[in-house]
Structure 1
């Protein structure tokens, strides 16, 4: 079976340790400076802290899609209002983790473990906000991947692109309608050959883009995905009820939007 899919949308980043350090840095800059005229003047200030404008233009929209920050590109920034309540909670947890990280006593290790669990919960809350945001061009990808894994138990990169193909070519409940294809693929009855439509890179040469690492990577950082022994991604069992509740919440938002 050969499928042709569009180049997937992508956040272009995930919540790595480096990204989290940059988030704390942005927070501290805002806390210690006068209000900025707009996000571009904030960007110029961030360059003094080794956060270049191209990086800021990538990470700030992602944080806004996750509900951690709120701003208008050409409007003045009230620094103390740039981070939302959820964003403040995230930064507070990151700073607490930084204080405990490296400690070797049993008590501190237990505290650090609890803090990381809270961090994962906050991150997943952010991803839920992202999935509810229909103006975000990759929110449906995240929602479909989480729905697919909840429905079929796991996912790999080929199935991720199959989801996109079905979404582009099928009416109705495409995730349910693809059941026979998924079963045949997993039972090695069929092979799926994927071609992605290309776009020009900066060099002018055609390149294909697969955003799956950003999708499963962010779910993993939020503690809801883990890699199985056969290199597929599955839901972390202790988070399953939380995942189901999130899918119901997001699904209602998408359903209401088409009424």
Structure 2
């Protein structure tokens, strides 16, 4: 008795070449499905733009899926300590991954620097920020946005820069503090703050700055923003987690990262 499958085959009996081709496709699909995994990723808010470009390319290249959350590193640290199911941390600093290693919550020797960030003073309005940052000392503005320096790396860098310039105390009452660097950028972008300290990646792409005015804060005014990625203990043994970290080291990912003004 012929099987139901053989009764519906559209090729002549005895010709197994189409069946072999179909079987190969089915086996490939099954294997691809079996080998595809998800990875839960915590990503620093300043890296939102590049990561939104990297994730689809990573998924296309590997077949894995990345489930991404964006936020401040300080809050991610607390969440990971309290059992959040993240498997990879793409941090805005190097200290937090090191702390997680010391806490036994990250895999030793998996940490690496994927980018070096830059701090920028920016206003959505042309002519507000001069190319030397003198607007800060003149004080001819109402509000200055920064990210929360207690949990956000770029916020801490902004405070460090203002302190070295000797203006932090004088400007303290004018600060509008965002939960993270994304919110600080939004304050400046919407005009709720006249200007703000933001990440270069938020106002720069492919050699072009966003509309408005900006000052590249000199590197000697704040500690280097070395951004490290690390495999968390929950991600150990997950092929998708390993694949994502490897992809961040690839030329394809570096091209995207560089386009947003990061260095290595």
TM-score by length of 2: 0.26
Question: Could you say which structure has the higher helix fraction?
Answer: 1
Question: Could you say which structure has the higher strand fraction?
Answer: 2
TM-score by length of 1: 0.27
